[in-house]
A and B are shown apart, each in its own frame.
Chain A
């Protein structure tokens, strides 16, 4: 409860209202235009590095789809502000599963077994081996993600919200050594370890886990009346 004003954004519906929704829609429109027109411009009347076709319907679809998936993964990664091993596994894992699936679906074997269902045979091999295609993908990622990063940074500089200020204060405090803990009194208090209430936003994991937002109390387990080390239980 060091920073009670952190509860205000939730109460004032600051992060999920109509304006935020409109911003989301505009971002979606911008991303869709990028994800179509960048491959379109790069594929217009072009061929592969050995002269054969790359501007066909199947290669174009695969390129746009790969751009899209990688951009979405990067955007999710950006929004995941607390990267645990689980997050890493799922995000990298989903990208690798995508590539595994398209190479499987577009392989010779699947085509020969289910001819009508997998007509895109050979497309993954022939398209994703072109450096041109990877340059296009890289460009789309940067064009889709950098405005978001820049916009958020700009917002945090010019109009920082309460949580931004708090985060900055916490980070500045981390750079100095923490003050010594006050002397602990023997008290029986409840084991409520909550304080997770203002978790509308990210970035407060360390604060909560450090325990500095809880009232200083005795760890209930190793001393006190009902712990295994107490007089009551020692003789048993």
Chain B
């Protein structure tokens, strides 16, 4: 009886034909492959001084220049901020502090300010709110994405998440929900003061929302006509809006749900202090700065009441870099972590030299 000299069975000490009582089945030993016998080639990183110490030094040496670069970039960004809530009695907007959402005529105020340095590249105008919790869970859920995507059945039957802002006067609200209802509706205009004349500065209202939001996520309801008023038939405006959604702008590609100010507002902020892009000030030519140094005046139509919850409103003019707006945190964090790493590397090197090789094989009992 020949034993099956299979290469796989090489390690098998009990060939099946020999000595097995009563015709046993095949062996239950696993195959002698590298995978099953756990002989796969492997890499074993073990923390020795030769790997850990250089790692600390290299990370320290990489982080510090990166941190300095980020910090310098952030410092070169020009930013100017005006808080126009009006809580201070000397502020021009103090008279508008207790305005309600439907005051007629709307309260206006003007704040004059001076820019000491010119703003060279494209300038972005933001409005900022503080103590406004757009990240409250019930608030964040209070919207109907299908309705905002132009679904005609959701237009007339908003989802339950929008309650209690889903119907008003027995008609469905478009757009429904608390987020849409609380849309920011102040108007800000900028003028340059040049020898007593006010020169208006062109503010561009297109291109402030994400491309995916404007072109995919938000769509107007579809129909046969181009008349938005007809497409929104049967719905009513949100409770706290002065005008219905199809009258947000005269231009057709910025009206209805695809109005960019509306889209920017609907992208809820993560933190209670946030800024949202309001307008763009584009650079006209390369010779002149976008905003020269000098006197400016900001005209505000103050519609949005924030005083009741101790909120604050501000207008921010800012330039932009490859890392976004002005934020020194990341630069400082990198520099700090790099320095700590380097320092720890030195400390570990000292410890390794003094104590590391003391405990050698002499101690190991055999």
Contacts and interface: CB of A to CB of B under 8 A. Distances in A.
Contacts of B273: 44-45
A59 B274 CA distance: 13
A46 B363 CA distance: 57
Given A58-B267, A60-B270, A84-B40, A111 B324 contact: no
A33 to B, nearest CB: 14
Contacts of A46: 324-325, 327
B224 interface: no
Interface stretch (B102-110, B167-175, B315-323): B315-323
Given A49-B320, A55-B271, A142 B337 contact: yes
Given A47-B275, A150-B348, A157-B356, A121 B217 contact: yes
B277 A52 contact: yes
Nearest to A162: B364
How many chain B residues sit at the interface, stated as a range, is: 35 or more
Nearest to A130: B324
B11 to A, nearest CB: 6
Contacts, number: 221
A157 B351 contact: yes
Highest count of chain B CB atoms <10 Å: which of A45, A49, A168: A45
Contacts of A15: none
Contacts of A158: 351, 355
Interface stretch (A23-31, A92-100, A203-211): A203-211
Interface string A140-180: 00110010011011101110101001111101100000000
Contacts of A16: none
Interface in A168-194: 168-169, 171-172, 191
A110 B333 CA distance: 38
Nearest to B264: A53
Given A42-B327, A57-B140, A205 B145 contact: no
A interface SS class:
helix
A51 B212 contact: no
Which of A48, A60, A78, A150 has the most CB atoms of chain B within a 10 A radius of its CB? A150
B216 A111 contact: yes
A32 interface: no
A181 to B, nearest CB: 19
B149 A115 contact: yes
A143 B361 CA distance: 34
Contacts of A115: 145-146, 149, 151
Interface string B158-193: 010000000000000000000000000000000000
Nearest to B328: A41
Contacts of A131: 322-323
B220 interface: no
5 contacts: A45-B325, A49-B324, A55-B275, A61-B270, A171-B48
Interface of A: 2-3, 5, 38, 40-61, 78, 81-87, 108, 111-112, 115-116, 119, 121-122, 125-126, 130-132, 135-136, 139, 142-143, 146, 149-150, 152-154, 156-158, 160, 162, 165-169, 171-172, 191, 202-203, 205-206, 209, 220-221, 226, 228, 233, 236
